A and B are shown apart, each in its own frame.
Chain A
Amino acid sequence: MNLTRRSFLKLAGATTAAATLTGVGLNKASAAIIVEPLRIKYSKEVYTTCTFCGVGCGIICNVRDGIIVNAEGDPDHPINEGTLCSKGSSTFNISYIYDEKGKPRLNPNRLTEVLYRAPGASDYEVIDWDTAFDMIAERIKDTRDRTLVETVDVGGQQVTVNRTNAINWLGSAWCTGEENYLFHKMVRAMGVINVDHCARL
């Protein structure tokens, strides 16, 4: 059965007639009909790309009231054509888990607050974004200003190098191209030369 995106939409939105249960099903030939409403009915569909390996499978997130209720393969995507592996099929779990009663709740290990751990402390404290950005900017500036090498002598010539070896930057393949581009600009604007990401790690 070759189900295209178009039919997925149409069928997902179709109304199904409910019928009552007939018989008790003791006879194997008897047919009982219980029509269940499709749980992704009336949800908004959002195209995303699987966050795991480099195949780049298409995933459709069904969103209701701003919350993802289902995430499965995008049948129109030419690479995966609706299929997904175990990680891709588990995408929903990144945000939500089902409890024993089958009720969804936020994955308890997702971070929801900015955390700060002071020197010697045995736990984090919650701080706000503004405080965090101010503190981080101060620390970057302090380290950079103390360690920036402005010029070096190369074969008798003073060459401007503007680099610091005191900050280490590890980027990520989880970030989008736009994010990494801005991260790169930030890295070089700080004079940082220790830069690496998952391509090596």
Chain B
Amino acid sequence: MAKTICLIDASKCMGCRGCQAACKQWNQLPAEDTTFEGTYENPSRLSSSTWMKIKFREQDNENGGVDWLMTKQGCMHCSDAACILACPAGALYRTEFDTVSVDEVKCIGCNYCAGVCPFQVVGFDRLANKARKCTFCIDRLQNGLKPACATACPTGSISYGDSRELIDKATKRLSQLKAAGKTNANIYGLTEVDGTAMLYVLEDNPEKYGFPADPHVPIQTRLFNAIYAPLRILVVVAVGIGLWSNWNRSKKIEEAKEKPN
């Protein structure tokens, strides 16, 4: 796991979406055209111009009441990152902060990364023909600033800092929540995909928030990586496949996007 991480305490998220706007503001991302689809959550999915958002989920709870679960969704910056393994061009890379970034110069627009991501956080920019996603605000980290989302968060639901300290904080928070009767509360991202640089404290099971219960790198991706990784020369081939695949996939994604929810 990275030396510095973000801890996202979902129990403290009030859904103000300061982070969601701050992400766009800092990263100079345009707004998307959206429609109201019966939930506060919007846009409906992450994209090349929406790198993170707050998820809203309503559910009946055991006490006869209702829980309104809210938390941030965005790139998890996995230790075992499927996108890095899948990228034939080596555009997805691990940074000096142990986070995952896209090198746009290298990106060939094949969109493999989007397909294999267990969290579905990679967007595709049709205009530029590039994969785009949360950078963990690496430009801010490199200059000693916190990521924009963690900077904006009013309640401390998103905090940034030393991983050991934050894991400790997460553990303490978990026991508080358990003591308060949240029996399904859990820490998410500690062991999943070898640990993520976005560590969560959740009040309920991950699926209740819309996260995969058991995120993992697809076996095909590992095979692909095992075969091609040592043979860098074959990257050229991959580039060729990638270009074709990109065209094909982006077409499919566009088709899927056009379908109503």
- Residue numbers of A with Cβ under 8 A of B are 1, 3, 7-8, 10-12, 14, 16, 21, 23-39, 70-73, 75, 80, 82-92, 97-102, 104
CA distance A90 to B152 in the complex (A): 11
Q: Does the CB pair A35–B142 fall under 8 Å?
A: yes
CA distance A3 to B137 in the complex (A): 16
Total A-B residue contacts, Cβ distance less than 8 Å: 152
Q: Does the CB pair B21–A100 fall under 8 Å?
A: no
Sampled A-B contacts (14; CB under 8 Å): A23-B93, A24-B90, A24-B232, A24-B235, A26-B90, A26-B225, A28-B80, A32-B96, A80-B154, A84-B21, A86-B16, A88-B18, A98-B28, A102-B29
Q: Is there a chain A Cβ closer than 8 Å to B41's Cβ? A: no
Per a CB cutoff under 8 Å, which of B17, B89, B93, B153 touches A83?
B153
CA distance A1 to B25 in the complex (A): 22
**Given A98-B28, A100-B127, A104-B28, are A89 and B143 also a contact pair (CB < 8 Å)?**
no
**Given A14-B144, A70-B25, A90-B21, are A25 and B93 also a contact pair (CB < 8 Å)?**
yes
Q: How far is the CB of B6 from chain A (nearest CB, A)?
A: 10
Per a CB cutoff under 8 Å, which of B79, B95, B153, B154 touches A32?
B95
Q: Does the CB pair A89–B18 fall under 8 Å?
A: yes
Q: Does the CB pair B152–A11 fall under 8 Å?
A: no
Q: How far is the CB of A182 from chain B (nearest CB, A)?
A: 33
**Given A83-B154, A86-B20, A100-B127, are A31 and B95 also a contact pair (CB < 8 Å)?**
yes
- Chain B contacts of A30 at CB under 8 A? 93-94
Q: Does the CB pair A12–B145 fall under 8 Å?
A: yes
CA distance A37 to B24 in the complex (A): 18
Closest Cβ neighbor of B126 among chain A residues: A100
Interface of A: prevailing SS: loop
Q: Is there a chain A Cβ closer than 8 Å to B139's Cβ? A: yes
Q: How far is the CB of A165 from chain B (nearest CB, A)?
A: 43
- Chain B contacts of A21 at CB under 8 A? 93, 103, 106
Q: Does the CB pair A28–B94 fall under 8 Å?
A: yes
Q: Does the CB pair A97–B30 fall under 8 Å?
A: yes
Q: Does the CB pair B229–A31 fall under 8 Å?
A: no
Q: Does the CB pair B144–A32 fall under 8 Å?
A: no
Q: Does the CB pair A26–B145 fall under 8 Å?
A: no
Q: How far is the CB of A94 from chain B (nearest CB, A)?
A: 12
**Given A28-B81, A92-B25, are A72 and B151 also a contact pair (CB < 8 Å)?**
yes
- Chain B contacts of A75 at CB under 8 A? 151
Q: Does the CB pair A72–B79 fall under 8 Å?
A: no
- Chain A contacts of B31 at CB under 8 A? 97-98
Q: How far is the CB of A84 from chain B (nearest CB, A)?
A: 5
- Chain B contacts of A34 at CB under 8 A? 95, 101, 103, 138
Q: Please report which residues of chain B, range 1-35, place their CB below 8 angstroms from some CB of chain A when the two chains form the complex.
A: 4, 16-22, 24-26, 28-31
Q: How far is the CB of B191 from chain A (nearest CB, A)?
A: 16
- Chain A contacts of B85 at CB under 8 A? 26, 28
- Chain A contacts of B92 at CB under 8 A? 25
8 closest A-B pairs by CB: A24-B90, A25-B93, A11-B144, A89-B21, A36-B139, A86-B17, A89-B22, A83-B154
CA distance A75 to B151 in the complex (A): 9
- Chain B contacts of A37 at CB under 8 A? 139
CA distance A88 to B151 in the complex (A): 12
CA distance A11 to B127 in the complex (A): 34
CA distance A23 to B127 in the complex (A): 27
Q: Is there a chain A Cβ closer than 8 Å to B87's Cβ? A: yes
Q: Please report which residues of chain B, range 39-98, place their CB below 8 angstroms from some CB of chain A when the two chains form the complex.
A: 79-81, 84-85, 87, 89-96, 98
The proximity string for B residues 223-254 relative to A, scoring 1 for CB distances below 8 Å and 0 otherwise, is 00100110010010000000000000000000
Closest Cβ neighbor of A75 among chain B residues: B151
**Given A25-B92, A36-B138, A86-B16, are A72 and B152 also a contact pair (CB < 8 Å)?**
yes
| Known A25-B103, A84-B18; further 15 A-B contacts with Cβ < 8 A | A11-B145, A12-B145, A23-B90, A25-B84, A31-B98, A32-B94, A38-B139, A70-B26, A72-B22, A83-B151, A84-B21, A86-B17, A89-B20, A89-B21, A104-B28
